[in-house]
Structure 1
Amino acid sequence: MARQGNILLVDDDPSLRRLLALRLEGAGHNVESAESGAAALRALERFNADCVITDLRMDGMDGIDLLQRLSHDRPTLPVILLTAHGTIPEAVTATQRGALDFLSKPVDKDVLLARVDQALDQAGVAGGDWREVWRSRIVTRSPLMHRLLEEARLVAETDTSVLITGESGTGKEVLARALHDASPRANSAFVAINCGAMPEQLLESELFGHEKGAFTDAKQAQQGLFRSAEGGTVFLDEIGDMPLALQVKLLRVLQEREVRPVGAQRSLPVNVRVLSATHRDLSEAIEQQQFREDLYYRLAVVTLALPSLRERPEDVAPLARHFLDGIARRSGRRARVYAPDAMERLCRHDWPGNIRQLSNVVEQNVALTRGHVISPQSVDKALSGHGRRSATAATLQPLAEARDAFVRDYLIQLLRISEGNVARSARLAKRNRTEFYKLLNRHEVDPADYKR
């Protein structure tokens, strides 16, 4: 089956862009075009590209500059260079710097499509419809999340152990399920357990199983979650809360690929992939001897750090609509909508409880709204019972006020550094002293307040 991918095409020649776009779209690819390197970087903020095809020679940011930027920001994104005959030596040098390949102009159609297939192979784009796996699990239009999902897509195809970090409510289990669904183990079980939700002896029995009579309530033998997930994935949520004694036993399971049920005389082989998650800083826990360093390195072969919802505010609106649609499907009723002012209030909130809190607020709004449209007052009422709001998030300042506040804080910081010395502060700000005094007067900042 032919692979289909998102291709970003970068060239300052509009006729060549159109020709190549037609060829790529004819092969089933989704194409976004950009006329310069700078435009390409802007496009990547909204377009989740699997491959970049860029001309070598362009005004401003050329293909080499774009390649260097992408090699730093998105190292897994394959780049193909287009080059005229005279620039082939430069293109060869570029491949040594990280470009996947280069194509000479005029570009042969069959060669172009073959190189794009090769690039999609490198990017981890499977012949199957892997995109539906991510779309069904992950709702986002955030560049931060797109970069994270690029890494997740690559690691999903392997058996590598992955540690997912992030604040509570950011969707760590959702990402773990997406990793499982996009992996070769997708047709086997996905088994999740919260390691901080039960006492040590019960947790050991749940994970590894037990023999009949192994303890007082063991009326019959149980195989445990590791063995029930045979061939699939075990997800250990809140791994940072696992008791130390049990960490030793988990390490042995990961090393030997065997489990010993509680009360058993021998170990049994298991074939599972282990994903884990925590909201804790495990480096700090290791220093405090609350978490084993050797277990950490077994679990965190790859670490995926989920951003908080306040770091991806562009996702609040699509997530809210996703939750509204889900509630409508479950209830069999028409989906509610937020009034524009109500959605604005949601987007300005800083969401200390992250996506879980947003889901709770949306569900409360639906439950307490009689009509079709959710009002701003309903949102305010729901948010009033959901903890803090940041001052900047609760009321967005006009640009002029925000700029004045920034300048005032900046001036105060300079005066603190210089201990109220205006001449030194002006030098740090790269401004002359007269202009600096005018800024101080305009923003009502007195240098005397900051002298030692």
Structure 2
Amino acid sequence: MAASRPTVLLVDDDPDLLKLVGTRLTSAGYEVVAVESAEAALARLSVQRPQVVVTDLRLQGLDGMALFQSIRASDPALPVIVLTAHGTIPDAVEATASGVFAYLTKPYDPAVLLAKVAQAITLSGGTDPAAESGWCRDIVTRSAAMQTVLSEAKMVAAGDAAVLIQGESGTGKELLARAIHQASPRREGPFVAINCGAIPEQLLESELFGHVKGAFTGAHRPHTGLIQTAHGGTLFLDEIGDMPTLLQVKLLRVLQDREVRPVGAIQATRVDVRFISATHRDLRQAVEEGRFREDLYYRLAVVTLKLPALAERREDIPLLANHYLGILARKYRKEITGFSAEALEALMAAPWPGNVRQLANVVEQCCALTTTPVIPASLVTRALRENPTEVLSYAEAKARFERDYLIQLLKLTRGNVAEAARLAQRNRTEFYRLLRRANLQPGMFKYDHLPDVASGEEAES
């Protein structure tokens, strides 16, 4: 099916000019909706979202700037181009500072207008097809590459086949896994996620498979593993390529027999779990090098989905940036209406080695530091310079690992510091010092249902 043409909403109270500009835009391949007043434009916007609005400044009734302000209040990602026969430099400065995409004076140069319209459509968020589908509403995209992945994911979701999601760090592998779960017959069951690369081997085994009382030193009570916790639902194994070899053998047995045997247990328990795994590594290469079991690979990769890097879906950058901006503006309690055209250009041109996660970080820094309703290019440039990649420094990586390790110990021991210190082979005084440095309180873990203190409240990724 042919893709629909981009729509331009054209507003001018001069019928001759409306016809002339409309004809030029239509000849350039655009779908044109022409109206003669701001009021008519707002009525049209309530039933159809164009990709760009081109409006005269002087109109009967509401003027072009009033129309722009109304649009900005309800849809900050929709670009507006203002045409005027009465423009001055101060007017242009004020309009662009307010967030108008472009300010062109009449008589206008048709080539310049067409270039600005094309640029606005490229840089605007456009529509969000994923938002129309509840199962993947958290995945913000309009790119063809992502639509292909989502189409495949929707088909896979209907069955129970194991899925391997491949993609660079920060591309949103867990978001896709959650979407598959939401689209599956298991949607009413639990979705349980674990990062196989963030937990030490001895803790990972207990977290996944559980243990019985007395299974090892400090195991004073039984612990239900995440595989059993996911019974009737989906288990998401993030960074499966980092799973230790011995645990790969145990996981393979679960996949083959659909039974799990907790550490120290004599009997196994039947489980009904759908497995989705993810990795940024090349698992085929890991198999060839003997770092990952071939039989486990084929069990996990019945269907493989590959998420594109953000640099491969650049048309999504403005859409994602405005999506995060809306969330973060509320978080910081700021009246932020959008990015300047130059700021969007800077976002579009960036290499994004950290993918969507890096983009969210850049937008958050801009949101935290901006003092104007429209985020200028200077803030974007600064944020990009200070967030060149998602690679952590050694000290940051060590601190993050240490905190995750302490959290897992406290979860395992239900906040018993003496047991946790014994498992970590540290004395209690030193262990308390580590907890203080990581800003962790043992009392947070003395409950059956624990808060997710590792990730905190969220919004992708």
TM beyond 0.5? yes
Q: How does 1:365-444 map to 2 (within 5 A)?
A: 365-387=366-388
Are the equivalent residues in 2 in contact too, given 1:156–1:182 (CA < 8 A)? yes
Q: How does 1:321-400 map to 2 (within 5 A)?
A: 321-331=322-332, 333-387=334-388
User: How far has the Cα of 1:371 moved from its partner?
Assistant: 2.2
User: How far has the Cα of 1:131 moved from its partner?
Assistant: 4.5
> Mean Cα displacement is larger for which, 327-336 or 314-323?
327-336
User: How far has the Cα of 1:329 moved from its partner?
Assistant: 4.1
User: How far has the Cα of 1:217 moved from its partner?
Assistant: 2.4
User: How far has the Cα of 1:333 moved from its partner?
Assistant: 4.7
Structure 2: distance between partners of 1:368 and 1:213: 53
| Gap change, CA 1:304 and 1:342, over 3 Å in 2 | same
1:150 alignment partner in structure 2:
151
Are the equivalent residues in 1 in contact too, given 2:170–2:356 (CA < 8 A)? yes
1:243 aligns with 2:241: no
Structure 2: distance between partners of 1:388 and 1:266: 47
State the AA in 1 paired with 2:275: V
User: How far has the Cα of 1:328 moved from its partner?
Assistant: 3.2
State the AA in 1 paired with 2:233: G
Are the equivalent residues in 1 in contact too, given 2:332–2:368 (CA < 8 A)? no
Structure 2: distance between partners of 1:364 and 1:388: 14
Q: Relative contact order (C-alpha < 8 Å, sep 6+): which is higher? A: 2
2:40 alignment partner in structure 1:
none
- How far does the alpha carbon of each residue in 1:56-104 deviate from its partner, in whole angstroms, 9 at most, with x for none? xxxxxxxxxxxxxxxxxxxxxxxxxxxxxxxxxxxxxxxxxxxxxxxxx
Structure 2: distance between partners of 1:312 and 1:329: 27
Structure 2: distance between partners of 1:312 and 1:304: 16
Q: How does 1:105-120 map to 2 (within 5 A)?
A: none
Structure 2: distance between partners of 1:151 and 1:278: 18
Are the equivalent residues in 1 in contact too, given 2:332–2:367 (CA < 8 A)? no
Are the equivalent residues in 2 in contact too, given 1:327–1:335 (CA < 8 A)? no
What TM-score results when the alignment is normalised by the length of structure 2? 0.55
Structure 1: distance between partners of 2:228 and 2:318: 41
Structure 2: distance between partners of 1:176 and 1:145: 14
1:316 alignment partner in structure 2:
317
1:434 alignment partner in structure 2:
none
User: How far has the Cα of 1:362 moved from its partner?
Assistant: 0.5
| Gap change, CA 1:219 and 1:183, over 3 Å in 2 | same
2:287 alignment partner in structure 1:
286
State the AA in 1 paired with 2:383: A
Structure 1: distance between partners of 2:332 and 2:136: 22
Are the equivalent residues in 1 in contact too, given 2:336–2:375 (CA < 8 A)? no
What SS does the aligned partner of 2:291 have? coil
Are the equivalent residues in 2 in contact too, given 1:161–1:274 (CA < 8 A)? yes
Structure 2: distance between partners of 1:231 and 1:9: 41
Are the equivalent residues in 1 in contact too, given 2:336–2:372 (CA < 8 A)? no
1:175 alignment partner in structure 2:
176
| Gap change, CA 1:364 and 1:185, over 3 Å in 2 | same
> Mean Cα displacement is larger for which, 232-241 or 145-154?
145-154
**Equivalent pairs, count:** 265
Structure 2: distance between partners of 1:374 and 1:272: 46
Structure 2: distance between partners of 1:377 and 1:332: 21
Are the equivalent residues in 1 in contact too, given 2:358–2:389 (CA < 8 A)? no
Q: Please list every run of 5 or more consecutive structure 2 residues that lacks an aligned counterpart in the other structure.
A: 4-129, 391-461
1:216 aligns with 2:217: yes
User: How far has the Cα of 1:175 moved from its partner?
Assistant: 0.3
> Mean Cα displacement is larger for which, 210-219 or 277-286?
210-219
